[in-house]
Amino acid sequence: AQAQKQLNRIDNLEAQLKASKQRYQQLIKELEIQIQTAQESIDFLTREAKLSKTSIEQVETLKSQFVFRLQGMISEVQEMKEESLKELQQKPIETKKLISLNGLSKYSEPEKLVISDVVITAESEESSELMIADDYLKKAESLIIEGQLQEALNCLEKAIAANYKLDQAWYKKAGVLVKLQRYQDGLFAYDQCVSLQPQKYENWYNRGNILVRLQRYAEAIESYDQAIKIKPNDYESWHNRGALLRKFKRFDEALESYNKALEIAPDKYETRHNRGNVLAKLERYEEAIASYEQAIKLNPNKSELWLNQANALSALQRYQEALQSLEKALSLNPNNFELFKIKGNILGKLNQYSEALDSYKKAIEIKPDSYEICFECGEILVKLQQYSEAIALYEQAINLKPDSSEAWRCKGICLEKLEQYPEALVCYDAALSCQSDDAETWRYRGSLLSKLKQYPEAISSLGKAISIQKELRIAKSHPVS
């Protein structure tokens, strides 16, 4: 009877092991199917990922999910194997028969199997949702390449609806909205990107760019600061930060940002150019000139570089060198009225009035509606004692800017030189109607009235000039804090 019980136990164990073997084989088949399916999905996603660099991250994520699931199933099988071996070691009489089964594992916990099935089902549903969102994202990327922005936007919104936390969909959506010039909506999308992926510097950098478009410069600087914290060697963030700080006239901080940008990318002429402009604002002209020279070496075909170098040289009264820079600028941009204007100004400082007049005339040919050019050309004509021609230029300036007390006064001076005193007095009065506290105009008016022997009015005008000048001296000596 005892032997029969032992045989029955052996038979039962063999039946259990047989069932375990069948279950094991079933799991092996499932594993093979899962591996094949995973490989096919990975191959498909890898091919599709070539459309966008960011898609590679999603492929790797899905690959990790598949590997994780496969590792779980393998662990499950290994656990069954270890339990069966443990049981075999505890039953010596059964060992010989069990060894012949070659390590098939026991699995006698159907509750665990049910739970595992539920988990797999849930993962499958989640994976399905991710795939749906990813499909919309891929379609949107293709539409963006084709230039169908509104259709791409619709797909991206569907991707977000399927998976609200899909940061790449938000990122692409923000980019499309920027192209559609819907900057406020684009900012909201970048805010979502920052919320979902705060450690991605691209999110902060592009958020800063869109804030610049919205002219929210202080917030843009904060975004660039965040981008720099994440990626301290990002050239664009340092460069853009410097440009905004310059706009706020925070020149020392702007210079620091440009220096950082140049440490990262020393061959960027734009940054060296802007750095020179900041140094010029700080009146550090020698350093500004050096920065312009470095920029010119990198890109000698930008007239703006030569122009700004000329301005810095002129500030140091290095007029001949400034003229050489201007000639370079004009060879690159011969129709730039500003270049002729500045050249005329420098020639005037060198007392080369005829050459200066030629430059101003060329500037007027290009831009006849410039008040400044007409006025400065009038001044050169006065230097050449060509008063009638100067009057014509001042009148042109007055037509462009009727409230210019300076143009009215200068016209009056020319009329006085031509002994057209009543007309000159009218011009002085017009100048004072534009600016009643102009001491110089009061002085010219008083001097003219004295010539006309209108002494009481002359004394009154000269007294007014003295009074205004006295007030100005007091104001300068006691500035308001």
- H/E segment holding residue 71: helix 53-90
Distance set, CA 432 to CA 122, 437, 444 (Å) = 86, 7, 11
CA 290/CA 272 separation, integer angstroms: 9
How confident is the model over 88-99, as a mean pLDDT? 33
Domain ranges within the chain, ordered by starting residue: 402-481
Sequence-distant (6+) residues with CB within 8 A of 317 are none
Task: Give pLDDT tens digits for 308-328.
Answer: 999 999 999 999 999 999 999
72 touches 50 (CB < 8 A): no
Q: Write the single-letter amino acid at 58.
A: Q
CA 274/CA 278 separation, integer angstroms: 6
CA 274/CA 475 separation, integer angstroms: 36
Question: Is residue 135 predicted with pLDDT exceeding 90?
Answer: no
Question: Is residue 480 predicted with pLDDT exceeding 70?
Answer: no
Count Cβ neighbours within 10 Å for each residue of 363-372 and write b for 16 or more, e otherwise.
Answer: bbebbeebee
Closest CA to 277 of 299, 251, 253, 301: 251
In a 13 Å sphere around the CA of 165, the CA atoms on its Cβ side amount to 6
Distance of CA 169 to the CA centre of its chain: 21
Any idea which of 60-64, 203-207, 255-259, 295-299 has the lowest mean pLDDT? Answer: 60-64
In a 13 Å sphere around the CA of 92, the CA atoms on its Cβ side amount to 0
CA 273/CA 455 separation, integer angstroms: 58
Task: Give pLDDT tens digits for 426-458.
Answer: 999 999 999 999 999 999 999 999 999 999 999
Estimate the share of the chain in helix, then strand, then coil, as percent rounded to the nearest 5: 80, 0, 20
Residue that is written with structure tokens 């000698």 in the block: 300
Q: What is the largest CA-CA distance in the chain?
A: 155
Any idea which of 12-26, 138-152, 367-381 has the lowest mean pLDDT? Answer: 12-26
CA 439/CA 231 separation, integer angstroms: 58
Task: Give pLDDT tens digits for 148-197.
Answer: 899 999 989 888 888 889 899 999 999 999 999 999 999 999 999 999 99
For the chain, give the mean pLDDT: 83
Count Cβ neighbours within 10 Å for each residue of 400-429 and write b for 16 or more, e otherwise.
Answer: beeebbbbbbbbbbbbbeeebeeebbebbe
- Extract the tokens encoding 379: 């001044």
Task: Kindly state the DSSP code that residue 193 receives in the 8-state scheme.
Answer: H
Task: Give pLDDT tens digits for 381-397.
Answer: 999 999 999 999 999 99
Any idea which of 20-29, 90-99, 259-268, 299-308 has the lowest mean pLDDT? Answer: 90-99
Question: Among 1.10.3720.10, 3.30.1360.120, 3.40.50.1100, 1.25.40.10, what is the CATH number of 402-481?
Answer: 1.25.40.10
CB atoms within 10 A of CB 9: 13
Instruction: Tell me the pTM.
Output: 0.67
Written as one string, the DSSP assignment of 400-438 is: H-TT-HHHHHHHHHHHHHTT-HHHHHHHHHHHHHH-TT-
Question: Is residue 125 predicted with pLDDT exceeding 50?
Answer: no
CA 478/CA 468 separation, integer angstroms: 15
Distance set, CA 49 to CA 39, 135, 456 (Å) = 15, 11, 91
Own/partner pairs for 390-395, CB < 8 Å, 24+ apart? 390/414, 391/415, 391/418
Question: Is residue 460 predicted with pLDDT exceeding 80?
Answer: yes
